[in-house]
């Protein structure tokens, strides 16, 4: 299936800003995070089609997945 992956902040560094990528049917958000070797301690927010999700959320063909770092403090 095709997943449009958008990376925010430090996740972009050395990777990409936005890319459509292929994953096997039944993949979870965690599979994409592992595939891209994102540092999990920095993963703060997961959005699928602009709605909050988490690492265990399943993905469907055509989904737009946004991965954001943590947000805290001022």
Partner 1 sequence: MIIQTTDPAANPQAISYHRCTVDLRSGKIVYADVPCRNLDDVLGGFGRSFQDLAERRIANAYCDENPLIVNTGLLTGSTAMTGLRTYFSAYSPIKGSKKGLPAAMWSTGSGKFGAKFKWTGLDELIFENRSERPVYALIEETADGPRVELKPAAHLRGLSTHDKIMALYKEYPDAHFAAIGPAGENWQNNYMGAVALSTENQLKSGEDKCRFAGRGGMGSMMGFKNVLALVARSSDKTKPLSAAVKAANINVIKGGGSARIQPLSRGGGGGTWAAYDVMQVFNAVPVNNFRPQGNALPEKLFRENVEPDYDIKSEACYRCGITCHNNISEKNPDGSRGEFLAKFDYEPLNLLGTNIGIHDAGQAARLIQLGDNYGMDSISLGVTISYVMAYNERHPEAPILNGASFGDYEKARELIIQAGEGRLPEIGRGSMRLSESLRETSYAYHVKGLEIPAYQPETNPGYAWAIAGGHMSMGTYGMLTREGKSDVDSWVKGITEEKLHIVGFDMIGLCKFFDISKGISTDMIVDCLKSEFGFEVTIDDLRRAVRRAFMRGLALELRQGYSRDEYDLPAEVYENPNPHIKLPRITTPEFMAELKKRVWAVFDKEIDAVFGSDFIRF
Quick check: 55 binds partner 1 (CB under 8 A)? Answer: no
Strand arrangement, sheet containing 51-53: 18-22, 2-7, 64-69, 43-48, 51-53
- Which of 44, 55, 57, 61 binds partner 1 (CB under 8 A)? It is 44
Quick check: 51 binds partner 1 (CB under 8 A)? Answer: yes
Quick check: 74 binds partner 1 (CB under 8 A)? Answer: yes
- Contacts with partner 1 by CB under 8 A lie at 8-10, 12-13, 39, 41-42, 44-45, 47, 50-52, 66, 68-74
């Amino acid at each position: 299936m095709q997943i449009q992956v958008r990376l925010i902040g430090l996740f972009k560094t050395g990777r990409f800003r936005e890319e459509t990528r292929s994953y096997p049917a039944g993949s979870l958000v965690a599979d994409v995070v592992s595939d891209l070797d994102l540092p999990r301690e920095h993963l703060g927010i997961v959005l699928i089609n602009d709605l909050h999700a988490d690492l265990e959320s399943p993905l469907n063909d055509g989904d737009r997945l946004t991965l954001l770092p943590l947000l805290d403090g001022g």
